[in-house]
Amino acid sequence: MKTVLITGASGDVGTHLRRELAGRYKLKLSDLRPLADKAKGEVFAKADISRMADALRITKGVDAIVHLGGYSVEGPWEGILQANIIGCYNMFEAARRNGVKRFLFATSNHAVGFYPRKQKIDHRVYIKPDGRYGVSKVFGEALGSLYSDKYGMEVFLMRIGNVNARPIDKRRLSIVFTPRDLAQLVSIGIDHPKIRFEIVYGVSGNKRSWYDNSNAYRLGYEPQDDSESYAKEILERNEKEHPVGALYQGGAFTHVESVPNPAPLPKK
């Protein structure tokens, strides 16, 4: 059974993923925040990935890394810099030094958020980040390319939409990514024997998707869920979007300077 490190394990996505992957792998979990509900068999290591020593410590002895950790929304540059730029570099470099060959990076739809909603895009499009957060995800994608080409690391980049059991608004009808579809795609990233460097979209099989996800399907991804069953209910609300955000796939990130952080760090 492979040992898999999940960073950001205390967050919403990490919590869903831990539940879905239980029993498939030996899970080593890490976060700067405490983990209150550690399950049997899980190992937890508190770490600040902006410190190289911590990144080196948690990446020892693992077969694969699922890197979810970081500042998860648009916000102040200093927070994004420490977590998503310095922290992301530390994780790739620590993985290299410790001989971890397989690295899954949770990039984001916000790396390409300034594409218009009327345009369907695939994994080969030029990057169009919609904010500082999106830029940090583009940085992580570039690191993945570097570490794959220069050091032979096997890198799987997932441009994640919105991980949730169901869509909560019109925009998320296009980008929702259910927990069981998340777990399926992550398992492909961990186990597929021919991963070298791949970019896929982390979304379910949504009829209204803005993404041509054929690269994920080529690797065996068969999403189980589609948001369409929620469309009538959501569209009947007739919710109003900001006129700029409504044009672009990135939504509010295209016009705001910050959004509330769903996973703030505990006060010291």
Instruction: List, by residue number, the catalytic residues.
Output: 133
Distance, CA of 142 to CA of 144 (rounded, Å): 5
Give the residues across from 30 on adjacent strands. Answer: 7, 45
DSSP-derived secondary structure letter, 61: T
Whether the Cβ atoms of residue 16 and residue 73 lie closer than 8 Å to each other: no
Distance, CA of 150 to CA of 206 (rounded, Å): 36
Distance, CA of 78 to CA of 70 (rounded, Å): 12
Token pair 């769903």 is found at: 262
Report H helices in the chain.
12-21, 52-58, 77-80, 87-97, 132-151, 172-175, 179-191, 214-218, 231-235
- Nearest Cα neighbor of 227 from 182, 145, 169, 147 is 169
Phi, psi of 218 (to 5 degrees): -60, -30
The pairing of beta strand 176-177 with beta strand 3-7: unpaired
Whether the Cβ atoms of residue 170 and residue 235 lie closer than 8 Å to each other: yes
